[in-house]
Amino acid sequence: MRETDGKATDCYPFPLHLSTAGAPKNRPRPLVKFQPVQVVNFRPAPTALIKLHAQDGYEILKSIDFPWPIAQFVGQHHERLDGSGYPHGLQGDVIHLEARILAVADVIEAMASHRPYRPGLGIDVALAEVSEKCGVTYDENVVAAAIRLFREKDYQLQA
């Protein structure tokens, strides 16, 4: 409500006579007939986009002079022992041990933690996942070390 000339009136953003309330039934038709627009997706699918991050990490780090091949570790952290990983489908011992460690740590953290698209699944589910794929997808020694950290050393992920 606003006050005009001492009277309280409803406040409209435009004069009442121009509002659609009580508009005539035979309104003028639009001059242009709108057609549905075909949307073309030029971006990669979400999975393909996500898969770029290992290579992107490598590209960011490759020119930094570390005493270890850190860029390769990051670039390989989604490679899997059985060759099912990405970006290069590397297998077994061709994958750096450090990348195999990052792989297990990444899976555990990703599954146990909250994500914008789903609640955290918890540490038990994450450890069950890496245990189930131990020796096939993930390095046996790395999985065993991770399980010891959580089960015997009472390691906790930061919230």
Per-residue pLDDT of 98-115, as tens digits, reads 999 999 999 999 999 998
pLDDT at 1: 44
Q: What is the pTM of this model?
A: 0.70
Give the list of residues 6+ apart from residue 97 with CB closer than 8 angstroms, or none: 139, 142
The superfamily in CATH containing domain 46-151 is: Hypothetical protein af1432 (1.10.3210.10)
**How is residue 105 written in tokens?**
């740590």
pLDDT at 15: 43
Residues of the chain with pLDDT under 70: 1-45
pLDDT at 39: 58
Q: Count CB-CB contacts under 10 A for residue 83.
A: 14
pLDDT at 41: 55
pLDDT at 30: 56
pLDDT at 109: 97
Rounded Cα distance, 25 and 49, in Å: 51
pLDDT at 14: 40
pLDDT at 31: 58
**How is residue 64 written in tokens?**
């930094």
* Side-chain half-sphere CA neighbours of 55 within 13 A: 10
